[in-house]
Amino acid sequence: MARFSPLTASIPLLFSLMSASFTAQGNNQLPDIGTAGVAALPIEQEVRYGNAFMRFARAGLPVIDDPVLNQYIDDLGQRLLTNADGVRFPFTFFLINDPSINAAAFLGGRVKIHTGLFLYADSESELASVLAHEITHVTQRHIARYLESQASSTAMTLAGLAGSIALAVINPTAGIAALQTTLGLSMQSAINYTRDNEYEADRIGMKTLYDAGFDPSGMATFFQKLAAEYRYASKPPEMLLTHPLPETRIAEARARAASYGTRNLAPSLDFWFAKVRIQTRFGTERQAALLTFFEQRIAKGDYPQKDAALYGKALVLLQLKRIDEADLIMKDLASRHPEDLFILDGQTDIDLAKGRASQAIARLEQFRRRMPDNEVVVINLGNAYLESGNAAKAIAILDPYAREHEENSLTWGLLADAYRKAGRMEELHMARAETLSLRGDYQAAIDELIVARGTTSNKLSLARIEARITELEREKKALESLKM
């Protein structure tokens, strides 16, 4: 299931190869990894490489910044991690607006999930099975094992590999072809090498899935469905191109799930809320067609979660500017699910659309007293204060959150807008610099800090700006060395 063989393994492979060049200047060979290959890549270094990859991802992939979806996939991932062995650092789960059925794990616990995978899954256990599989690739250090297999790569090969990685991030199909040319590997040889990793990720991933309280048959069901639907397709999904599902793998998953026993779980409401949100906000179907779809499913009563269909209808109505109708549905949903963050976010959008910022603020402040560090609450509340014209209050809420969650680009963007509206130019340019640095655009970030430096004569502020410029210059140099 994981996109590990030549594509996902190659990105961390590039990182390790660059690391070798840092420590062995004239030596074109990788350090001797030996049988204890894990020791060749210290955890701290793996985390740094994962951070660098996120810069590449934000610059080259359509990362979705949606606080409700971010919260959902993070909660799902953390539930699995709590029940996984070998977790050595925090993980980051992020969503990519891509209709292909795929997910991928990278160094440093970075796991991307395509919207297509979300839409294809029919239960939370199916989706969780993919995340459990990806988590296992990281915790079992499969990437380090792949590095060991490539220990004889030459400097010339590495240069070609670097270009292939950059291409692979933007265009996976072309990137895989380039990697095969660069490394001289056939697709089949790469798949053969990682097959044991795949079975291990299935086995350990299913245990994690079960221990986290999900239905272990979700993995087998997902495998069977995927294999059956695309068995004779002229263009199967990318996941099957790099990770075929032979009958033995499907049979093993079925047998293993049976040994655990099936769990008859009720459909997860938040899973269906998330699926509907992706379908309505990031799908390709026209809003009018979606409205008809949800209305028909509500009338027939055959949607897995009726309230999710109602939520989908409300989102479509909101986008169609039929706000009063959306408002009635969302209020009805809130009466049954008063603590649900999907509903809270929807109510906020409707309140702001109807000019009821004060009502949204009052509700969100109540949530904030119970959930002071919740992304959905903080971002919605900061935005509501901005919409009400109270930039100072927005700053008071968003600034500490942004500094505590430095990789949250949505918060930095809102904070920059708040500083602009408050006329605080120094902080505006500093917030813009943070947003740019998260995309790896360090020179533009440094330029913003230089502008910020020109807006103040305060010695403490100047010292802080100079220190940040120095940090960004160091990060810029490190990132450029990885890009080669």
Would you please indicate which residues are annotated as catalytic (active-site) residues? Answer: 134, 202
306: nearest Cα among 278, 267, 341, 348: 267
Q: Which two tokens stand for residue 452?
A: 């910020």
330/313 Cα distance (integer angstroms):
10
Beta bridge partners of 103: 113
201/440 Cα distance (integer angstroms):
31
* Residue 234 DSSP one-character state: S
Long-range contacts of 333-340 (CB under 8 A, 24+ apart): 333/307, 336/307, 337/269, 337/307, 340/269, 340/270, 340/273
Q: Which two tokens stand for residue 67?
A: 């606080």
What are phi and psi for residue 104, nearest 5 degrees? Answer: -155, 145
Q: How many CB atoms lie within 10 A of CB 471?
A: 14
E strands along 408-457, which residues? none
17/28 Cα distance (integer angstroms):
10
Axis-axis angle for helices 187-211, 6-23 (nearest 10): 100
- Please report, in angstroms and rounded to a whole number, the separation of the first and last CA atoms in the chain: 30
What are phi and psi for residue 332, nearest 5 degrees? Answer: -65, -45
